[in-house]
Amino acid sequence: MARDLSNQQWHGIPRKEIPWYPTVDPEKCIGCELCFVTCGREVYEITPDKHHKARVVRPYNCMVGCSTCAMVCPTQAISFPNREMIWKLEREYKIFKLVHEEARVKKEKMNLAQSRENAEQQVAKAITRARFEVAGGFGEKRFLMQLKEFIANKPIDIVNVTMEVPTLQDTFREAPGYMRFEVTSTQQEDIQAYLEALRSLIKENQLVLIDETHLT
CB nearer to ligand SF4: pick between 42 and 190? 42
CA-based nearest residue to 141, from 172, 181, 179: 172
Query: Quick count: other Cβ atoms within 10 Å of Cβ 74?
Result: 11
Q: How far is the CB of 9 from ligand SF4 (least distance, A)?
A: 16
Query: Quick count: other Cβ atoms within 10 Å of Cβ 78?
Result: 23
CB nearer to ligand SF4: pick between 43 and 207? 43
Which residues make beta-bridge pairs with 176?
A: 137
In the region spanning residues 102 to 131, those forming contacts with ligand SF4, defined by CB under 6 A, are none
Cα(3)–Cα(113) distance, rounded to whole angstroms? 28
CA-based nearest residue to 139, from 210, 204, 69: 204
For 78, 79, 91, the CA distances from 71, given in Å and listed in that order, are: 8, 10, 27
Interface characters, 1-40, with ligand SF4 (x: CB under 6 A): ---------------------x-x----xxxxxxx--xx-
CB nearer to ligand SF4: pick between 42 and 182? 42
CB nearer to ligand SF4: pick between 77 and 191? 77
First CA to last CA distance, the chain: 47
Query: Quick count: other Cβ atoms within 10 Å of Cβ 167?
Result: 9
Q: How many residues bind ligand SF4 (CB under 6 A)?
A: 25
Q: How far is the CB of 7 from ligand SF4 (least distance, A)?
A: 16
Interface characters, 156-195, with ligand SF4 (x: CB under 6 A): ----------------------------------------
Cα(35)–Cα(46) distance, rounded to whole angstroms? 10
Interface characters, 36-75, with ligand SF4 (x: CB under 6 A): --xx-x-x----------x-------xx--xxxx---xxx
Which of 18, 78, 134, 207 binds ligand SF4 (CB under 6 A)? It is 78
Task: Provide the CA 189 distance to its chain's centre, in angstroms.
Answer: 21
Binding site for ligand SF4 (CB under 6 A): 22, 24, 29-35, 38-39, 41, 43, 54, 62-63, 66-69, 73-75, 77-78
